[in-house]
Structure 1
């Protein structure tokens, strides 16, 4: 078959495009197509760790393969599937907005849906006044960085070590991991400060050129929460020096941590700008939002000449806005913030009870349904030698050794929380309950039993990872 023939589109009866026919004809080529036309390292990596599954359908907190086996999703598409997959209320809202045939994105009118969604979002953050809608979390961060630098007239943005705020050039400038930044300089003027270190923050502010500090209330990498009192004290320091506090709630917002926003766990914290995205559309439509104070927006958009000084071609599109309104409605109707708080506490307490049982289980932390499971050096000689072998090859391999059998043997999808980290992060859909907690804890216990036996499939796979790590040096 020629390239032109293989790329041809199956025709629907009577002509036209038929998506179902295209998938039926070419869907089995998914990994080959990705390797040939997209990021060729992704299918290679998935094949190496045995994650090259073929999922046929999904609903709620589960996937199913072609044989009808179910897989529990404890990853939620890196947090975008806050309601789980294919929530009927969000699906209906998207069908309704398409059927309405709105005059969307004319750019020279004011449609009602963006205003209605902004109103609903701001109700959860009453100290904020206005919203800019973009298309992703990194766009929400870019917006906050631009606004902060403009309204303060200062160039430098502070961020926390090990932070992750996105991968476009501006957000990359406040990314706390060198592995992401290497080779992409020069970036914006920036400086990292340790999360929780008020003295380091004060030293940087005294230089007089800081526009803002951007911070995740709970860092996604490693699941590290800001120490109690830090956000409030940092806010006071920043405002004393005429700088802004930016809260990146892209992953932690919309109920993930058991409050609507994670910064709300600390009394008196009122960020000047808040970034949200991921779960806002229920995983259907790319969307991001930057919430801010009235004076900031009025200074950026200071005249009619500046009406388009910051905009996005697809920002505020009807599908994203309808999905966002539906998501907020479902969250209220199904009390998902309260469920995240209660189910997250159940999950954390069940896992924390295992710490004394397993010497390689070092810590369980987090808030709501954002949970970090950290592994550490064992004490027994037999396990210590195996641990040392893994660490010599590449730090983070033990966590990967746990993630793989969770999927392959127990059909549970999880993730390692960052490169070279011995931490697994759980960010499941907010709809999970006791049944899913039981399934995960039982599976995790079985994997840890295997790992602490000194042999078994976990360590057999560890040998494969060691060989791969050494080969990639």
Structure 2
């Protein structure tokens, strides 16, 4: 039987053109970057925490689609739920009814943060942040948003205004009125609040760029300061939420922290459907939706669609039934402790930090003359190249996908699917140890690749060059 659209036939006929199609029609720099660093792999299928190429070789995913694949790829429960909702042929997105699925998902989400009362559903993490910024300004009547240096909250105009990395902001000004404050600096926060125009502070409980944590007690103290000045605390849990750090939300690691607004997305999707959510207190929502005339003052055309809601419900069900949060806590501690044990062994390894299955591996200036001279060459060309030198052999020689944690950072970030266990920990630690052995032995293969990166960095005039 033939159909008007045959996906299998289309991919069989045109799938090999993937890099050429991207070069011609999409972001032409992406395939260029992937070719340059040897990441131009062709993956045929994926399941759980693994990919497979056309030759049947498996690759361990320690990136989880930048945190989207919290349950790994193609979890059978989420997949079946999506088949079921498609088969149900619901009257979805009529926009003049109140379907049950958004209410049911909101109820399940709010159960994990009982101090919050209502949810707005959008389509992504950056939309969740945009919602929080708008709601905070409306609720407080103040214009300015504070954010932390080195933060990342998204790339749309509002979320870009609270992005702590200049490289993302360059060329897109003017943005919203905003001010960056150092993460953990209560004095800087207090000085800005005294100006009387601050609506909120948005903060990642653990920053994704560099995997940086504020000092203990900072979030609670910041919350108290904000409330004294009638400003709000916004917790951006887009990457850290839904079990990533070994608790359902990362802010829950600190007693007494109850953000006024919480942004979630990524893992809530199950890796299938774009979905974002902004959770907030009742009084904030009632300020925004203050009358019938304002019923659509903030909305999203595809927000609360049935497929996204079902994906979220299925994800939360799996998390509970398969004890995903507990696994992230236990497996994350195992991985972090085994990596931390290597710090004294390798002079290029400076620090291992993080919570749960969000771990940063930082490299630093070595002490021996031979390694120090090579390190200096890399740092002179562009900071972050050594971390890239580690990421590449992890993929090419050990078939493990990781990422450099941010531009100009000598940090690798590990955010694998939350279903990984001891087998994946063993595989990563063994591979990482082998790469570190090569680097410290002066392996020509590894350091010659470093020369390639230096040439590329110089050719790009020190432009952005990281994953």
Provide the TM-score with structure 1 as the length reference.
0.96
Q: Distance in 2 between matches of 1:262 and 1:456?
A: 42
Distance apart, 1:223 and its partner CA: 0.1
Shift of 1:227: 1.1
Alignment partners' CA distance in 2, 1:435 and 1:457: 28
State the 4+ residue runs in structure 1 displaced beyond 6 angstroms: none
Q: Distance in 2 between matches of 1:32 and 1:227?
A: 47
Question: SS state of the match for residue 299, structure 2?
Answer: coil
- What do residues 126-160 of structure 1 show as CA deviations (whole Å, max 9, x unaligned)? 00000000000000000000000011010000000
2:380 aligned with 1:382: no
Residue 83 of structure 1 corresponds to 71
Q: 1: distance between equivalents of 2:332 and 2:403?
A: 17
**In structure 1, how many angstroms separate the alpha carbons of the residues matched to 2:438 and 2:192?**
48
User: Would you say 1:367 and 2:348 are equivalent positions?
Assistant: no
Distance 2:216 2:446 in 1: 37
| Secondary structure class of the residue paired with 2:21 | helix
Q: Over residues 388-432 of structure 1, what are the superposed CA-to-partner deviations in whole Å (9 max), with x where a residue is unaligned? A: 000011100000000000000000000000011000000000000
**CA deviations over 1:192-238 (Å, ceiling 9, x no partner):** 00000000000000000000000000000000012100000000000
Structure 1, unmatched stretches of 5+, are 1-16
Structure 2 distance, partners of 1:466, 1:281, is 38
For the residues of structure 2 that align with 1:57 and 1:167, how far apart are their CA atoms? 29
Superposed CA deviations along residues 219-260 of structure 1, whole A, max 9, x for unmatched, are: 000000121000000000000000000000000000000000
Deviates more, 1:461-470 or 1:374-383: 461-470
Q: Secondary structure at the match of 2:335?
A: helix
Measured against aligned partners, the alpha-carbon deviations of 1:346-390 in whole angstroms (never above 9, x if no partner) come to 000000000000000000000000000000000000000000000
SS for the counterpart of 1:424 is: strand
- Give the whole-Å Cα distance in 1 for the aligned partners of 2:52 and 2:381: 35
Can you list the C-alpha shifts for 1:325-348, whole angstroms capped at 9, x where unaligned?
000000001000000000000000
Q: Per-residue deviation at 1:457?
A: 1.8
Aligned equivalents of 1:267 and 1:366: distance in 2? 18
**CA deviation after TM superposition for structure 1 residue 281, in Å:** 1.3
Partner Cα distance (1:456, 1:411) in 2 = 20
CA offsets per residue over residues 301-343 of structure 1, 9 Å max, x none?
0110000000000000000000000000000010000000000
- Displacement, 1:455? 2.6
Equivalent residue for 1:165?
153
Name the structure 2 match of 1:215.
203
Q: How far off is 1:82 after superposition?
A: 0.1
1:290 aligns with 2:267: no
For 1:436 and 1:222, locate their aligned partners in 2 and report how far apart those are by CA, in whole Å. 22
| CA distances 1:170-200 after superposition (whole Å, capped 9, x unpaired) | 0000000000001100000000000000000
Distance in 2 between the 1:469 and 1:164 partners? 24
For residue 344 of structure 1, the aligned residue among 328, 332, 342 is: 332
Q: In 1, distance between residues paired with 2:412 and 2:218?
A: 25
The Cα offsets for residues 109-134 of structure 1, whole Å up to 9 and x where unpaired, read as 00000000000000000000000000
Deviation per CA, 1:276-304, whole angstroms, max 9, x where unpaired? Answer: 00000111000000000000001100110
- In 1, distance between residues paired with 2:186 and 2:458? 40
String of CA shifts for 1:17-67, please: whole Å, max 9, x gaps. Answer: 111110010000000000000000000000000000000000000000000
- The TM-score normalised by the length of structure 2 is 0.97
Alignment of 1:205-244 (within 5 A): 205-244=193-232
Secondary structure of the structure 1 residue equivalent to 2:164: coil
Equivalences for residues 269-288 of structure 1 within 5 A: 269-288=257-276
3-state SS, counterpart of residue 52 of structure 2? strand
SS in 1 for 2:86: helix
Find the aligned partners of 2:215 and 2:63 in 1 and give their Cα distance: 25
Equivalenced residues, count: 456
- Rounded to whole Å, the distance in 1 between the matches of 2:167 and 2:240 is 23
Q: 1:457 & 1:275 partners in 2: Cα distance?
A: 44
Q: Secondary structure at the match of 1:219?
A: coil
Counterparts of 1:226 and 1:355, CA distance in 2:
22
Cα shift at 1:456: 3.0
- CA separation in 2, counterparts of 1:433 and 1:423? 23
Q: Decide which of 313, 325, 328 is 1:325's aligned counterpart.
A: 313
CA–CA distance in structure 2, aligned partners of residues 112 and 284 of structure 1? 21
Residue 408 of structure 2 aligns to a residue in which SS? Answer: coil
> 1:383 & 1:18 partners in 2: Cα distance?
55
Distance between the aligned counterparts of 1:457 and 1:397, measured in 2? Answer: 15
Q: What secondary structure is seen at the aligned counterpart in 2 of 1:102?
A: coil
